[in-house]
Amino acid sequence: MGRKGDWACTGWDNGECTGTPYCPPRCPRFRDREAVPGLVRPQRPADVDALVEMYLGLDPSDRTMGLPPATETELRRWLGRFTEDGWSLVAEMGSTVVGHTGVTPGEAAAPHLVVFVADDAQGRGVGSELLRQLVAYAADHGHEALTLTVEADNTAAVTVYDNLGFDVVERFRGELEMRLSLDEPVVGRVQRPPAEWEG
């Protein structure tokens, strides 16, 4: 170790952890609402098959505005956008990928984000943790803001985004465009080491 990106941490009792210069922007370890341990980390090329499997397993009602794509070929092409022109994170529990979030274009000041969670991991705080991780990583990448589009009647998602600090900047055809400035206090909060987390 000796450079940022050589991250290491051990054990699950991180109550006294204050972080090190080698930590990612937010501690990658978390526990869901059922106390199951998880890990959020940058997506690797080897994750594509697991992500395709996760996305193909989503209930059709989880698809919104045509995303994620419904076929394996379209999914692989769509996931390729994150490696070619963006970046993304995955959430794992055990050896299973249970969530994915990412942004495109990767060089934009205010890239567009997506976040999806496997059906059997929904309602357990995995999506919220992925979003907090995404905010921390986006600030670390030098982005100025994050944007997203969500269906206006998806009240659960809108509430999660609103609670994190996203503001509605435009309404059109039953959809909301939302934006989070990375100058907001939320960035400092999500980047704190585990011992200082407020939740």
pLDDT digits (tens, 9 = 90+) for 143-157: 999 999 999 999 989
- Measured CA to CA, the distance from residue 118 to residue 77 in angstroms comes to 19
**Average pLDDT of span 96-112:** 96
- Give the range among 13-17, 137-141, 175-179 with minimum mean pLDDT: 13-17
pLDDT at 125 over 60: yes
Handedness of CA 58, 60, 62, 63 (dihedral sign): positive
pTM greater than the 0.95 cutoff: no
What pLDDT, on the 0 to 100 scale, is given for residue 10? Answer: 46
Residue 186's closest CA among 153, 145, 148? 145
> 50 CB contacts (<8 Å, ≥6 apart)?
90, 96, 97
- Measured CA to CA, the distance from residue 70 to residue 53 in angstroms comes to 11
- Measured CA to CA, the distance from residue 161 to residue 141 in angstroms comes to 20
Q: Which domains are assigned to the chain? A: 29-191 (3.40.630.30)
What pLDDT, on the 0 to 100 scale, is given for residue 7? Answer: 43
- Measured CA to CA, the distance from residue 143 to residue 68 in angstroms comes to 24
What pLDDT, on the 0 to 100 scale, is given for residue 14? Answer: 56
Indicate the SS3 state at residue 96. strand
Per-residue model confidence as pLDDT tens digits over 14-71 = 556 666 667 788 889 899 999 999 999 999 999 999 999 999 999 998 888 889 999 9
Mean predicted lDDT score pLDDT of the chain: 87
What pLDDT, on the 0 to 100 scale, is given for residue 22? Answer: 73
Per-residue model confidence as pLDDT tens digits over 185-197 = 777 777 755 555 4
Torsion of Cα atoms, 67 then 88 then 128 then 55, to 10°: 40
Per-residue model confidence as pLDDT tens digits over 70-102 = 999 999 999 999 999 999 999 999 999 999 999
